[in-house]
Structure 1
Amino acid sequence: MMRITDHPVLEDLEKRPVTITFNGVDYQAYEGESIAAALLANQIRVLRYSEKNSKSRGIYCGIGHCYECRVTVDGRRSVRACITNVQGQMHIESQDGDNS
């Protein structure tokens, strides 16, 4: 797992672990971190596939401007993973380029 667990300046980095599901697989995340950060920490780089040519897309700007990190969360499409915080038992799915 790729997470900073100790930092000399930041506050205590211990957060409450929760379970999220991405494309049918359970992963550990921490309450309050973004979906994008949780998936990245679990080695997931591809979050969706583009509408044109179905090319893989992941985190690009990381601040909610570009919409490249759109995922489906609990049935709701086009949620920006970089600005949406994790909640326990979230069901997250990558979006296919066909807009289905």
Structure 2
Amino acid sequence: MSIRIVLDGAALEGRDGQTIAGVLIGAGHRSWRTAAGAERGVFCGIGICQDCLVTVNGVEGVRACQRTARDGDVIERESR
């Protein structure tokens, strides 16, 4: 079953059960956060490093590698 999420206003397709990071990577995104002037994405993939933080449905600081994407999620990039 496919799902649709929105990243900064752009609709992306994913599969039910994928993490947010999985959907973003599958759509060709390698980074979605800026920290100390550098682009960040998935680094550790297990929720320790915090490089993959995004805002999901208005909630800041969500680990994209840990959170399962849900149909209709609205994702925003973070800068810290």
Structure 1-normalised TM-score? 0.77
Q: Which has the larger radius of gyration?
A: 1
Gaps spanning 5+ residues in structure 1: where? Answer: 1-15
Aligned-residue Cα RMSD (Å) equals 0.8
1:12 is matched with which residue? Answer: none
CA offsets per residue over residues 71-100 of structure 1, 9 Å max, x none?
A: 000000010000100100000011023xxx
CA offsets per residue over residues 30-76 of structure 1, 9 Å max, x none?
A: 111100011000000111000x2x21101000011111100000000
Distance 1:43 1:87 in 2: 19
Gaps spanning 5+ residues in structure 2: where? Answer: none
| Greater than 2 Å deviation, 4+ residue runs | none
Structure (1/2) with the larger strand percentage: 2
* Number of residue pairs aligned between Structure 1 and Structure 2: 80
Structure 2 letter corresponding to 1:27: L
Which structure has the higher relative contact order (CA within 8 Å, separation 6+)? 2
Q: Which SS does the other structure have where 2:23 is aligned? A: helix
Confirm whether residue 78 of structure 1 aligns to residue 25 of structure 2.
no
Structure 2-normalised TM-score? 0.95
Distance 2:79 2:3 in 1: 26
